[in-house]
Amino acid sequence: MGSSQANKDIVVLNTIKQIRKQVKDLKSNNKTIGLVPTMGALHDGHASLIKKAVQECDEVIVSIFVNPTQFGPNEDLDKYPRQLKQDVEICKANGAGLVFTPSSNEIYPEDKHLTYVVPSEYYQSKLCGLTRKGHFNGVATIVLKLFNIVAPDQAFFGLKDAQQLIIIKKMCRDLDVPVKIVECPIVRDNDGLALSSRNAYLTQAERAKAITINKLLFKIQELYNNGLKNKEKILNTALKILDADIELEYLEFLNLDSFKETNLLEKNTLIAIAAKINNIRLIDNIVI
Ligand code: PAF
C-alpha cells in the first residue's frame, strides 16, 4: 500500500497504447491499480479520491478527460474549465503516479455510429436524467471505456454525483465488470458548499446565494433529527431557506438501495437537489 507516495514522480500519458503498456508492467509486478476518473479542474474533492486510492492501491492512475458524449447540445462543454498543468500538480501532490489525459480523437476516433452503454431507464428517468437526456449514456460509456483501457482493481467516485455512482455500480454488476467501486464522501468548503468544478463559474454574490442549497439540505437533516418524517411537512419549512434567485430543478427523496421515490424520510434516504443560479447548474445531496 502506498501511504508515503505523495510527491513522487508523475508520468503523464496521452495514448491508450502508452497507458496499456504501463498497466501491463504494473500488473506483471503484481501491483494493484486504483483509477480516479475525472474531467479535470481538480479540487479538494478529487484530492480526497486520490488520497483514498493511494491508501488502497499500489499505484494510482488519474484520468483527465472532458468527455463530450456526456454533455447535451446546450451544456457547458466548450467553457468547461481546463487547467492541465495545475491538475497534474494536484495529482502529484496527492500521490498519484500516472495521469492519463487523452484527446477526444484518441477516445472517440470514430465520431459516427458509436456504441453506447445505455443504463436502465429506471435509473436514468429520475433526478439529473430528467433534464440531461443521454447524459448517463455518455457517463457509463466513458467509464466502461476507461475500465477497459486501464483495467483497474478499484475505481473511486464521489457521492456528490450520487446518481452517477449508483448507475456505475449497477453497470458493473449487470455487465460483470471486475472493478471494485469505492464511494467517497462529499467534500465541502467552509461555508458548506459542496466542492464542484462548476463552482469556479460563481461570482461572490452568486456563491452567497448558492450556499442556501446546502443550508436547505442541512435544515432537512435537522428537521429529521427533531422527529419530522413527512416529506411535504419537511419541505414546507425547509424550502423557505432557498434564495429567491435560485431556480429549483428538483428536490427528491429516494431510497438509496431501491432508488425509489419516497414521501417518508427514514434511514438510507437520499435527498438530492439540483438548482440553477444564473444558469450555473449545481447539484448536492445528503444521505439520512
Ligand atoms: O464525475 C465526473 O467527473 C465524470 O462524470 C466522469 C465520471 C469522470 C466521467 O466522465
Q: Which amino acid is at 224?
A: Y
Ligand 1 atom index nearest CA of 158 = 1
Q: What is the dihedral of CA 100, 132, 137, 174, to 10 degrees?
A: 110
Per-residue confidence (pLDDT) for residue 111, from 0 to 100: 74
Residue ranges and CATH numbers for the domains of the chain are 9-184 (3.40.50.620), 197-287 (3.30.1300.10)
Whole-Å CA distances, 267 to 114, 220, 256: 41, 13, 9
**β-pairing verdict for 98-100 and 280-287:** unpaired
Extract the C-alpha cell encoding 282.
449545481
Q: How far apart are CA 121 and CA 9, in angstroms?
A: 43
Whether residue 19 contacts residue 61, with contact meaning beta carbons closer than 8 Å, is answered with yes
CA atoms within 13 A on the CB side of 28: 6
Ligand 1, from 63, 67, 156, 283: best to mutate by most atoms within 8 Å of Cβ? 67
Using the atom order of ligand 1, give the atom closest to the CA of residue 67.
10
Does the annotation mark 46 as catalytic?
A: yes
Residue nearest to atom 3 of ligand 1 (CA): 38
Q: Which of 43, 46, 113, 135 is catalytic?
A: 46
Determine the distance separating the centroid of ligand 1 and the alpha carbon of 9, expressed in angstroms.
Answer: 25
Cell of 131: 433534464
Query: What one-letter code names the amino acid at 5?
Result: Q
Ligand 1, atom 5, residue with closest C-alpha: 139
Rounded Cα distance, 8 and 95, in Å: 7
- pTM for the whole structure: 0.94
User: How far apart are alpha carbons 148 and 154 in whole angstroms?
Assistant: 13
Tell me which residues have their CB closer than 6 angstroms to ligand 1. Answer: 37-39, 67, 70, 139, 142-143, 161, 164
Is residue 165 within 8 Å of 157, Cβ to Cβ?
yes
Q: Which atom of ligand 1 is nearest to the CA of 65?
A: 10
One digit per residue, the tens of pLDDT, for the chain of length 288 reads 444 455 568 999 999 999 999 999 999 999 999 999 999 999 999 999 999 999 999 999 999 999 999 999 988 899 898 999 999 999 999 999 999 999 999 999 987 899 999 999 999 999 999 999 999 999 999 999 999 999 999 999 999 999 999 999 999 999 999 999 999 999 999 999 999 988 999 999 999 999 999 999 999 999 999 999 999 999 999 999 999 999 999 999 999 999 999 999 999 999 999 999 999 999 999 999
Q: Using CA atoms, how far apart are residues 3 and 25, in angstroms rounded to an integer?
A: 21
- Determine the distance separating the centroid of ligand 1 and the alpha carbon of 263, expressed in angstroms: 30
- Centre of ligand 1 from the C-alpha of residue 137, in Å: 12
Q: What's the CA-to-centroid distance between 61 and ligand 1, angstroms?
A: 14
